[in-house]
Amino acid sequence: MSDYKKIKEEAIQALREAKSVERAEELRVVYLGRKGVITTALRALAEKSIEEKRSDGPELNAFRKELEDRIKERKKELSFKGVANFDLTMPGKKLKRGSLHPLSIVEKEIVAIFKSMNFSVAEGPEAESEYYNFDALNIPENHPAREMWDTFWLESSQKISDNNFKSSNKKVEKFLMRTHTSPVQIRFMKENKPPFQIVVPGRVFRYEATDMSHEINFHQIEGLSIGRSINLANLKFIIEEFFNRFFGKKLEFRFRPSYFPFVEPGVEVDIKMPGGEKWLEVMGAGMVHKNVLKAVKIDEREWQGFAFGMGVERLAMLKYKIPDIRMFYAGDLRFIRQF
Ligand code: DAH
């Protein structure tokens, strides 16, 4: 048996050293040919005792099979001519590459500008609790302001055990698809100590009829900056800096008093393109309401700051002159590939 082993090692070694298909074929004849080493040994086995047949037979057969495979493999390797044989003048195949969706591109641009102004990025869940989406943001039950956000309610609800919800006087917590990114303000402030400033990109949902400027889901970027003396002037600077850079030109700005329950005072920001006629509404903002700070146990006598929220689709539409918000979601590649 050790004889076979030695023969096998020699054969494999010789095959490895073979430098041509012809040499590999020679080796095949030497070992597996009609008068080959293995063939002869197998034939000789016929004369041997039953015990020897039983012990040597399988081993020899396995050896033959293995060598056959190795020779075939080696021949294949040796016949491969490699790149030298490659016709460089042949026309290439065009690779099909995917690209980012325009909304992803715009979101990245927006986030990059805020990052350069020292904002961090935070995110939160799309399925949200009623508490985070409304109550903690100073939008009490039955307050008419809740009607500003048409809501997709989820069927599940849960008994309230969490301390956070106690103040809301409710026994059962309901869930919904978040109607804005503002609940992430709450989530972030509960987990982090000020000072901080963050932006929150994310998808939001509204239960409403669709048209050129309304979709049942769209994207927002929320902003939040909390410090000891963060004020409206800081908000104004950051916002103007952001929009000028996003559109790549010097815009005109208008800050109009407005109402959002989670800020006081609240403003709406309008921009006007150079040479443009119309004021365009692009953002809601304001100074974070003291009730919001209280809800997350940040001392409102020590800390203050601003918040803002804007729609990504709206900005993308203005920047790239896209006429209909539904184009973002129609999945038409002729649209997508233009970006
Ligand atoms: N959450 C508001 C909305 O979806 C937008 C908004 C307004 C966000 C004012 C803010 C803010 O942070 O201060 O309509």
Catalytic residue among 204, 220, 303, 304: 220
Whether the predicted pLDDT of 150 surpasses 90: no
Nearest atom in ligand 1 to 224's CA: 12
Residue 267 CA, ligand 1 centroid: distance in Å? 10
Q: What pLDDT, on a 0 to 100 scale, did the predictor assign at position 87?
A: 78
The active-site residue out of 184, 267, 307, 316 is 307
| CATH 3.40.50.720 describes domain 102-125+143-154+178-336 | no
Measured in Å, how far apart are the chain's first and last C-alpha atoms?
71
Question: Binning pLDDT at 50, 70 and 90, where does residue 144 land?
Answer: confident
Helices (H), 192-276: 232-247
Spatial separation of the C-alpha atoms in residues 224 and 195, rounded to whole Å: 10
Q: Provide the pLDDT for residue 60.
A: 87
**What pTM was estimated for this model as a whole?**
0.72
For 167, residues 6+ apart whose C-beta sits below 8 A from its C-beta are 295
Would residue 338 show up in a list of annotated catalytic residues for this protein? no
Share of the chain above pLDDT 90, in %: 67
Residues 214-243, mean pLDDT to the nearest whole number: 98
CA 275 to centroid of ligand 1, rounded, Å: 28
Reduce the DSSP state of residue 299 to 3 states and report it.
coil
Closest atom, ligand 1, to C-alpha of 310: 5
Residue 146 annotated to the active site:
no
13 is a catalytic site residue: no
Tell me, using a 6 A CB cutoff, whether residue 304 lines ligand 1.
Answer: no
Share of the chain above pLDDT 70, in %: 94
Cis peptide, bond prior to residue 144, ω within 30 of zero = no
Asked if 271 and 282 count as a contact pair (C-beta separation under 8 A), the reply is: yes
- The mean-pLDDT minimum among 61-70, 151-160, 179-188 falls in 151-160
Question: What is the CA angle 127-330-248, rounded to 5?
Answer: 85
For residue 94, is pLDDT > 70?
yes
The bridge status of strand 304-311 relative to strand 217-227 is antiparallel
pLDDT confidence band for 1 (50 / 70 / 90): very low
Q: Please state the rounded mean pLDDT for residues 114-130.
A: 97
Q: Is 134 in the pocket of ligand 1 (CB under 6 A)?
A: no
Q: Which of 252, 196, 205, 183 is nearest to 224 (CA)?
A: 196
- Determine the average pLDDT of the residues in 166-179: 77
Report the nearest atom of ligand 1 relative to the CA of 185.
12
> What average pLDDT does the segment 86-108 reach?
89
Domain coordinates of the chain in residue numbers?
Answer: 2-84, 102-125+143-154+178-336
pLDDT tens sequence across 46-83: 888 888 888 888 888 888 999 999 999 988 888 887 66
* CA atoms of 220 and 18, how far apart (whole Å): 67
Active site residue 206: yes
